[in-house]
Structure 1
Amino acid sequence: MCGIAGYYTSNKGFNGSNLLKSLEGSLYHRGPDQNGTYQNSQVGFVHTRLSIIDISNGRQPFCADGVALIANAEIYNYKELIRNNSEYSYSSSSDCEVIIPLYQKYGLKFSDHLRGMYSVALYDENEDKLIISRDPFGIKPLYYIINESGFYFASEIKALCEAEIIDKKIDNNVLKELLAHQYSLDSNTIISGIKRVLPGETIIIKKGKIEKKFLNNPLKKIGNKNKSDKGFLKKLDSALYDSVSKHLRADVPLGLFLSGGIDSTVLLIIMSELLDKPVNSYTAYFDIASNFERDHSSYLASKYKSNHIELKVDKDNFINDLPRVIKALDDPVADYAVLPTFLLAERASKDLKVILCGEGGDELFAGYGRYRKILRPLLFNNNNLQKKSIFAKKGILRDKFLNPKNYNVLFENYSCLTKLQNAQLFDTKYWLPNDLLNKVDRCLMYHGLEGRTPYLDNIIFENSFNLPDKLKIRQGRGKYILRKWLSHKDKSAKAFQRKSGFTVPVVDWIFQEGEMLGPLVAQQECIKDIAYPSSVRSIFMKKTKKSSLAAWVLLFYSLWYKIHIIDKKTEGTIFDVLSNN
């Protein structure tokens, strides 16, 4: 994977060399192996490369026949695409270069032919237009600014901020979303004026202005195929092996985040069959009484002979490492799992450049408890979505920060889908890219580690989302058909055992340190603006799940604001950063 950034201005006298240097420096961690630039009188591209495929000769930008391309991408069907577009004269064996002949042949529909994860920018000199596009699931990030001087884009928000293209001002409407749901939805980001390219979105820019936007959506092939079909399991088996095999295409070592749950266990079994050497597997665990995931991961690693690494995450990591974690999260996501994900990525990056992850399995196969209850974190009732904020009726936040926008505006109720499918659809469009995939991208790319998500593949999507509800949820358990597949492959894998949950013990850590943390968080100016200090102090002293989650979100935001808005250094503990004025 890589970092990409650039600009397109209508000012032909603009000298963007210093801007490109700044953008390159900000994105170095995403691509420490190589860098490259492209410039003309109005357009500038910069690319920082993490070499995965064709490690010796895949330098970008690619330029051919008046087209310049940079891509933060892994195109898994690139070999097939190259064979089908053999008339083009390729300068490398890179998976990304094939995008140019696809554009030349299909125009703006080039992305319809890509199977993989990507954020790309393509400049057509002949038509003087810039095209930026993001993969349909939103696996790879892309952000942009448009103002009087032109159009600017980058893989990360902080690259645009550090280049001083825009003033860092908080969008209070997005902040409300972060406080209520621990992540933000839709195209607006927490920095006013910086927008996300939406999953599946392609934007065309001419003369420094947006000319057109459209979405390439994998959901266009969905439907309620609620029929009896004994071939579902066979189709799923074929889709799983096909996707994992393509996600294993790399010229560098790769591994697996193994949680012990259904999703990662399925990946371990298939990887162990497809690879001619042991899988490198990594598991995070906590110093708590119940450690089923750790024990089961260890058992699976032993059975499938993986090279297994376990990493303990404890309160010392919470105190000492959280500032480093939050430094990586320029697009904030206050998910407990950011800490173990970041530390596990740091450990895996010592051995590998690529890691496979199980993200997407819960959304596609209906694994969340909220699907069984059609509840949490958003209540689905009579085809409407209702907000459930952790701060509701707590007397903590000031009134103007209590009510995020009505999510019924975002929710699309497709009459052709079941109630379950509509709930899955909402999570796939918003929760998945803006929380889970955002977390994975930032935590892994901070360490130069590429995360791959085999479940988020067009073919698996079509073979999972379109399943009858009864093959997703049965006898009070989600992921029924995936469990069924696993039970056929390995009867000892405990496919139908209830998962205890990957629970980070933040509740205990915050309560134990609450006497010191509460006053420190309450005195931060960014917290005084949104909450009542006395109430903030009090929630740090309550050992309840809801109070601790509220305390966590406020702690997260106070650290995030200090690091990303005030630009305080992240050396030291959470106490050091919060005390640093």
Structure 2
Amino acid sequence: MCGIVGAVWEAGAKPVTMRELRAMTEALTHRGPDDGDVWIGETASGGGVALGHRRLSILDPTPCGRQPMTDEATGCRIAFNGEIYNYRELRKRHAGDRTFRTGTDTEVLLRLFGERGADCVDELRGMFGFAAFDPRSETLLIARDRLGQKPLFLRREPGRVLFASELKSLLQVDGAPREVDPAAVDRFLAYQYVPDPHCILRGYEKLPPGHRLRWRRGAVEIQRYWRPRYDAGTRDASPTEWLEETRETLSEAVRLRLRSDVPLGAFLSGGVDSTVICAVAQRILKEQGAGSLKTFSIGFAEKRYDESEHARVAAETLGTEHREFRVTPDALAALPRLAWHFDEPFGDSSAIPTLALSEHTREHVTVAISGDGGDELFCGYERYAAVRLAARLDRTGPFKSLLTANLWQKLPSGVEQKGFMRRAKRFVKELGNPPHERYLRWVGIFDRETRGGLYTPEFRVAMGDADAASDLLDAFEDCGCGEDSAEEQVRAATCADLPTYLAGDILTKVDRASMAVGLEARSPLLDHRVAELAAEMPQSIKVRGGSAKWPLKATAWSDDFARLPKGFLDRKKTGFGVPLGPWFRGELRPLLDRILLSDRALGRGWFRPEAVRRLIDDHAASRWDHSARLWCLLMLEVWCRVWIDGPTVPTAGPTTIEELM
């Protein structure tokens, strides 16, 4: 696991200097603390190419694996971030009459690129962001893995393209602009992250998951090379056959991700996904005679957010070597650190415990497998049940009459954001809207009306005709699912979550938090063959007998799960959160005034002071739970103070919140 940077330019365009390249590379030292190197070369047509790399040594940690790596036979070079889990199989297939110099997956990928060019991505099973240059055709290939586990930021300028694993590297280039894009701010407040391909800074972009960029002598082409086939129709298979295929595919995905030349463990929360993954991994390690799996979890003083007891039960049942860390989430300490590591504003507060878990886990292992992706692929979120119910009510005449009469307004509301009555009222209120719009309102942070009331007239003008809902609409339409049935609408929602919520929120959170401490996180459920199987699977198999994620629960060996307490895997999902609500009514209440209502924040001219004050006061008085919205506003302002307000680009994050006052 590493970080990459670089650029390519045509003749006459501005080159990247060695000083700039080194600065870009050093900005990613946290991603690759073990080693680093840079290279700049000329193209035959008078242009140039630059590659930089920081390395976290996982496979073949010897100096032989140093990057950028060169294939002496072809002259091709590569800077690679990620893991190719099937590299051993590819090595055998493409060895030919040439030997390999290293035991790395990087050399296998480089060989494959030299043979197949841009089509090399078709054979890869893994997570990756890489740049490979072929001097024979003067072609640079930049590619991102299918589901977006590894990031890739881009800046396209006249005659050249710059790229990096993190935005902070691109800001090291001389004259790099730092102008906030108002449309991206709107998107951030809607989603709590900036969805791909957009970027918080104007003139920058993110390469979307499953896409590749090909540069050839100044011509740039971006292509999508993979999508899960949600429109492929369902196979005529029995539940037993679906289950057996799930078991085989997931077991292979876990087995591939247990390959490592450094200590390896797993995150274990006690939820369905992590428990299933740990059960499969433990069984495989025992079969290999490799000892017990090391598992890690964190516990909190707040019982509502503490799943450590469930993790402990799962670990004892599975027989893992378990470590539990008791932590007190410290938002004041985390705020500036999160703003620096995440590069863009990021409003998911579960980044705080994710960072804490990664930090403690890194003290014992270098690689950790996780259960990310199970909810999106196997229909685990409660909101999918809401999608199904709404689709059925869409076709119910009497219910449409109730909507027309606005009788939903007479329903009582609760204060808690996730309280039953508040969710029920919001559900009924949105039934009259198109599926993608109501889905965004259900999953979003600030709805369209609340955002509109927050903005100043000047900011609305600066936004132009930006429409945050268009990103989700595009994702829905790209799935190719119809809207004729409840099952199709659920399929569309799960499909749309992959390039939006999963890539933009969950995987961004895991990547930045783990790489902040030099920990590699691997997700077997995000193997593209698992994703393709889930895409084709009928909803009646994913949710069976009222139990969501049935194939996952039934995938692990029955002997392991028979010993778990009754109902252990069917309990209500807790999530991985922090007590924002009480924080903003207690210890963090003064911080909201000091930051959000400061002259510095309001001087940006984005938000109306009275609207911000109303959010704070309503939350403090328990009239409404605005905790998620206030956290987004707080993270946005802290991000501005870290990345925008200073005269120079920071090479390290501030250590205390007081430094940002």
Question: TM (normalized to structure 2)?
Answer: 0.82
Deviation at 1:261, TM superposition (A): 0.4
Deviation at 1:15, TM superposition (A): 5.8
2:419 alignment counterpart: none
| Residues 54 and 92, structure 1, Cα contact 8 Å, conserved in 2 | yes
- Structure 2: how far apart are the matches of 1:114 and 1:544? 52
Q: Are 2:261 and 1:219 equivalent residues in the alignment?
A: no
Q: Matched residue of 2:163: which SS?
A: strand
Residue in structure 1 matching 2:607, options 515, 526, 531: 531
Q: Matched residue of 1:71: which SS?
A: strand
User: Unaligned 5+ residue runs, structure 1?
Assistant: none
2:93 alignment counterpart: 84
- Deviation digits for residues 511-564 of structure 1, max 9, x if unmatched? 213541221121153455222223323423414664111111111111111112
TM alignment of 1:360-399, pairs within 5 A = 360-374=373-387, 382-386=434-438, 387-388=440-441, 389-392=444-447, 393-394=449-450, 395-398=453-456
- Structure 2: how far apart are the matches of 1:430 and 1:355? 24
TM alignment of 1:489-528, pairs within 5 A = 489-493=560-564, 494-520=568-594, 521-523=596-598, 525-528=600-603
Q: Matched residue of 1:465: which SS?
A: helix
2:630 alignment counterpart: 551
| Residues 130 and 206, structure 1, Cα contact 8 Å, conserved in 2 | yes
Count of aligned residue pairs for this structure pair: 576
1:326 alignment counterpart: 339
- Structure 2: how far apart are the matches of 1:80 and 1:545? 56
Greater C-alpha radius of gyration: 2
Residue in structure 1 matching 2:493, options 415, 423, 433: 423
- Cα distance change, pair 59–491 in 1 and its aligned pair in 2 (3 A): same
- Higher mean C-alpha deviation, range 452-461 or range 84-93: 84-93
Residue in structure 2 matching 1:304, options 300, 305, 318: 318
Deviation at 1:475, TM superposition (A): 4.6
**Aligned partner of 1:490: which letter?**
F
**Aligned partner of 1:89: which letter?**
T
Q: Are 2:232 and 1:235 equivalent residues in the alignment?
A: no
**Aligned partner of 1:498: which letter?**
K
- Structure 1: how far apart are the matches of 2:610 and 2:524? 47
- Structure 1: how far apart are the matches of 2:305 and 2:146? 36
| Residues 364 and 461, structure 1, Cα contact 8 Å, conserved in 2 | yes
- Structure 2: how far apart are the matches of 1:97 and 1:512? 54
- Structure 2: how far apart are the matches of 1:221 and 1:552? 35
- Structure 2: how far apart are the matches of 1:243 and 1:196? 27
**Aligned partner of 1:497: which letter?**
R
- Deviation digits for residues 299-318 of structure 1, max 9, x if unmatched? 12223333322233435x11
- Deviation digits for residues 95-149 of structure 1, max 9, x if unmatched? 1211233223323211000010111111111111211111111111111111125
TM alignment of 1:440-519, pairs within 5 A = 440-486=510-556, 488=558, 489-493=560-564, 494-519=568-593
2:480 alignment counterpart: 414
User: Unaligned 5+ residue runs, structure 2?
Assistant: 43-47, 391-422
- Deviation digits for residues 144-173 of structure 1, max 9, x if unmatched? 111125111100001101234521011111
2:27 alignment counterpart: 26
- Structure 1: how far apart are the matches of 2:313 and 2:305? 12
Q: Could you say what the CA RMSD is over the residues aligned between the two structures, in angstroms?
A: 2.5
- Structure 1: how far apart are the matches of 2:574 and 2:282? 25
- Structure 2: how far apart are the matches of 1:285 and 1:292? 5
- Deviation digits for residues 432-464 of structure 1, max 9, x if unmatched? 111111111111111111111110012211222
Deviation at 1:221, TM superposition (A): 7.6
- Cα distance change, pair 371–165 in 1 and its aligned pair in 2 (3 A): farther
1:53 alignment counterpart: 59
Looking at both structures, which has the greater relative contact order when contacts are Cα pairs under 8 Å and sequence separation is at least 6? 2
- Deviation digits for residues 69-101 of structure 1, max 9, x if unmatched? 111020000000000011243221101211233
2:468 alignment counterpart: 404
**Aligned partner of 2:243: which letter?**
L
| Residues 230 and 481, structure 2, Cα contact 8 Å, conserved in 1 | no
- Cα distance change, pair 571–154 in 1 and its aligned pair in 2 (3 A): closer
Q: Matched residue of 1:283: which SS?
A: strand
**Aligned partner of 2:468: which letter?**
P
- Deviation digits for residues 412-443 of structure 1, max 9, x if unmatched? 15146822211111001211111111111111
TM alignment of 1:119-134, pairs within 5 A = 119-134=129-144
- Higher mean C-alpha deviation, range 549-558 or range 82-91: 82-91
- Deviation digits for residues 218-252 of structure 1, max 9, x if unmatched? 41486231634131111111111100010011100
**Aligned partner of 2:630: which letter?**
A
| Residues 38 and 53, structure 2, Cα contact 8 Å, conserved in 1 | yes
Q: Matched residue of 1:93: which SS?
A: coil
Deviation at 1:506, TM superposition (A): 1.3
- Structure 2: how far apart are the matches of 1:578 and 1:60? 37
2:276 alignment counterpart: 266
Q: Matched residue of 2:176: which SS?
A: coil
Q: Matched residue of 1:80: which SS?
A: helix
| Residues 59 and 105, structure 2, Cα contact 8 Å, conserved in 1 | yes
TM alignment of 1:434-445, pairs within 5 A = 434-445=504-515
- Structure 2: how far apart are the matches of 1:515 and 1:465? 44
- Structure 1: how far apart are the matches of 2:146 and 2:571? 33
Q: Matched residue of 1:89: which SS?
A: coil
| Residues 173 and 405, structure 1, Cα contact 8 Å, conserved in 2 | no
Residue in structure 1 matching 2:182, options 157, 172, 184: 172
Deviation at 1:405, TM superposition (A): 4.7
**Aligned partner of 1:60: which letter?**
Q
1:37 alignment counterpart: 38
Q: Are 2:16 and 1:3 equivalent residues in the alignment?
A: no
